[in-house]
Amino acid sequence: MARTVRKVVFPVAGLGTRVLPATKAMPKEMLPVVDRPLIQHAVDEAREAGITTFIFVVAPRRTIILDHFSVAPVLERVLKARRQAEELRVVRETTLPKSRIRRAVQSKPLGLGHAVWCARNHVGNDPFAVILVDDLIQSTPGCLSGMMEAYREVGGNLIAVEDVPRALVSRYGVLDVESEKGRLAKARGIVEKPKPEEAPSTLTVVGRYILQPQIFKHLARGQRGAGGEIQLTDGIAATLGEVPLHGYRFAGRRFDCGNKIGLIAANVAYGLARDDLREGLRAAIGALE
């Protein structure tokens, strides 16, 4: 039986260069989609999936992300005095208990694999999830909840995946598929950013993972892969033989909010999904045409 997953790692130490200048002083994870930052969407998805320990891998001296999940007594007092009950409820919902938050520091941008390795002391010997915050997935229930259900069936390492045109596979990690059953694809390998003509499939990795702690001994070697970085996919590949690997075809729409078009599209899609915003947003968009 697969061991229960209660911890999640958020690698949030990146520079967000694709959305400059918005990220000159503010982490991309704090960019809003409608009325909440990307990191809040990710935390909400993790909470829904049963996660109880939240590990943030941050850059040195970066505190704004953790501040967002802390109690805001002055703001709460003002909202309470103004009788803004709904706003007060929303603010309190963002708060995470200090006992549930862990902070790890990635001192140098050495790649996603390195960022996950930086969380090793907080993860310990437990299975854990990883959410890449700028991969926003609009789905009900959330993508990680669906992965948890599949994980209870197959265990091992599990990665969210989607098909892309072969011409685009060089942007992603790609599964070498052994067999498929429903939403699950059993993999015999995984390759980071292959040339289109060399890619074993067009089934590519999306920013949701459930991983076993064996990966840390491989990431600890610090081997550089594609782009000269320590790649998480290389660590996953190194565990094959001792840990099975499956891809999970998620239901929902993915938005790459690490680029400007993806971020704008996500705001429109999430706005149109809101009963309180849909009519006004459609009118505003129509007025621009």
Cβ(3)–Cβ(126) under 8 Å? yes
Please state, in angstroms and as integers, the Cα–Cα distance from residue 283 to each residue in 33, 173, 210, 289, following that order.
19, 40, 41, 10
Provide the sign of the torsion angle of the four alpha carbons 129, 39, 20, 260, taken in this order: positive
**pLDDT under 70: residue ranges of the chain:** 1
- pLDDT for the residue numbered 1: 67
Q: What is the mean pLDDT of the chain?
A: 93
Domains in the chain, start-ordered, CATH in brackets? 7-288 (3.90.550.10)
Written as six digits, the tokens of 209 are 């993972």
- C-alpha distances (whole Å) from 27 to each of 44, 56, 80, 94, 114 are 18, 13, 30, 18, 19
**What's the pLDDT at 229?**
84
Q: What is the DSSP letter of 197?
A: G
CB 191 within 8 Å of CB 200? yes
